[in-house]
Amino acid sequence: MTVPITPGVQVGDGEAMRHLALAGAGLARLAAFTVRADIEAGRLAPVLEAANPGDTEEFYALYMGQGGPLPARVRALLDFLVSHVRL
Q: Is residue 73 part of a domain?
A: yes
Query: What band does 1 get if pLDDT is binned at 50, 70 and 90?
Result: low
pTM for the predicted model, two decimal places: 0.60
Q: Is residue 2 part of a domain?
A: no
Q: Is residue 36 part of a domain?
A: yes
Give me the domain span that covers residue 70: 14-84
Q: Is residue 71 part of a domain?
A: yes
What's the mean per-residue pLDDT of the chain?
A: 86
How far, CA to CA in Å, does 52 sit from each of 12, 29, 56? 21, 9, 11
Spatial CA neighbour of 25 closest among 17, 34, 15: 17
Neighbours of 64 (CB within 10 A): 4
Domain count across the chain: 1
Q: Reply yes or no on whether the pLDDT at 33 is more than 80.
A: yes
